[in-house]
Amino acid sequence: MFLHPSLILFSFFLLFSVIMMICMNSWFLIWFFIEMNLLCFIPLILFKKNKYSVEGSLKYFFIQTVSSIFILIGLVLLFMDFEIYNYLFMSGLSIKLGFVPFHQWMVNIIESLTWPLVGVLFSLQKVGPFILFNYMYMMKNEIIHVMYMLSFLCALVGSLGGLFTSSMRKIMVFSSISHSAWLIMGMMVSIYMWIIYFVLYSLVLFSVLYILSSMNLSNLNHMFLKLNFFVSFSLGVGLLSMGGLPPLSGFVPKFILMKELILFYNYFVLLFLLMSVFISLFFYSRMFILNFIFLSNKNIFLKMSNNKLGIVLFINLMGMILIPYMIYFF
């Protein structure tokens, strides 16, 4: 497939801005690369012409501009030695990350994005703001109560939101919000714990998005009409893995974080997060089971390469190998 030069250019600068955002030791340069990141993502939204892309890009621009203004005002108050700068920084970064109660913009623009861009939004676009969140946490441990609150709200809304929509993109949004609760707790344990969780989550996410993109699925009804047995099974395993069902790969980072939370005696936090996972697994398993109930031979009219699906299955089933390894070494 031919790649337009502008697509390569904006993708490169998107990655470059994230790396520089993490590496800079000046808050002003961090803000500068946050703006570069914003301006590089918008052309990628507009790259595929449809009736939603312009609306989605405008919404993304306005929301990200508001978050950047919060960060810039916080930067000014930091130099003026006002303690309130913590909350402005956290509000700006929470908007960028789509944390509850600032999550609604993600639900609104997600229908205008292609599946690869959904993956970029839920993975690469979260790296920089999460690392900046970690810097804030290391600078001011007093904000720990705010981070607990954000984690609880993300777990609650992320698990309940997926129950009331049939759009696959919106289900992915609420799944990302639910995983954000675990990522916040992982970041509070250590940055290495956050990296482990984020890398494994991204692998599982892209394995699911690959099938959704290849089969052009955007609604639950499409799953009942388009998929043959092997594709249905691969997608179902991927969704259950994303929900954190043991012993699949999505359970591995949750298992490691559960052990860390138990060591730090955070039993209430762990119980709350596990309850949210049980609710998330309910709507993932609903998709998995209904898909097989409605499956019949007449639906087998779209084909996919079994080799590529084999990679998807391997990514999601490698948790069976990793969990004993993690029990031994962690």
State how far Cα 14 lies from the chain centre.
Answer: 17
Give residue 122's pLDDT: 92
Give residue 279's pLDDT: 87
Nearest to 296 by CA among 246, 245, 226, 205: 226
Rounded CA-CA distance 186/193 in Å is 5
Alpha-carbon distances of 193 from 31, 166, 200, 317, rounded to whole Å: 26, 33, 11, 21
Give residue 225's pLDDT: 64
> What average pLDDT values come out for the chain (330 residues) when binned by 10 residues?
72 89 83 87 83 85 90 86 83 89 88 89 90 84 85 91 84 91 91 90 91 82 69 82 85 89 86 90 76 53 58 80 70
What is the maximal distance between C-alpha atoms in the chain?
Answer: 69
Question: For residue 52, what is the DSSP state?
Answer: T
Nearest to 96 by CA among 70, 57, 134: 70
Give residue 243's pLDDT: 85
The pTM for the full model equals: 0.90
The HSE-up count of residue 314 (CA atoms within 13 Å, CB side) is 6
Alpha-carbon distances of 208 from 16, 37, 162, 202, 305, rounded to whole Å: 26, 25, 16, 10, 15
- Domain hosting 202: range is 5-329
At residue 219, what are phi and psi to the nearest 5 degrees?
A: -145, 155
Rounded CA-CA distance 258/275 in Å is 13
Give residue 292's pLDDT: 64
Give residue 224's pLDDT: 66
Number of domains the chain is built from = 1
Question: For residue 50, what is the DSSP state?
Answer: -
Rounded CA-CA distance 8/54 in Å is 20
Rounded CA-CA distance 240/145 in Å is 31
Give residue 181's pLDDT: 92
At residue 74, what are phi and psi to the nearest 5 degrees?
A: -60, -35
Nearest to 176 by CA among 192, 207, 194, 198: 198
Rounded CA-CA distance 71/93 in Å is 8
Is residue 117 within 8 Å of residue 45, measured between CB atoms? Answer: yes
How would you class 184 by CB atoms within 10 Å of its CB: exposed for 0-12, middle for 13-18, buried for 19 or more?
buried
Give residue 205's pLDDT: 92
Placement of tokens 């909350």 in the chain = 87
Is residue 239 within 8 Å of residue 312, measured between CB atoms? Answer: no
How would you class 294 by CB atoms within 10 Å of its CB: exposed for 0-12, middle for 13-18, buried for 19 or more?
middle
Is residue 276 within 8 Å of residue 159, measured between CB atoms? Answer: yes
Placement of tokens 């005696």 in the chain = 265
For 41, the enclosing helix (H) or strand (E) is helix 27-46
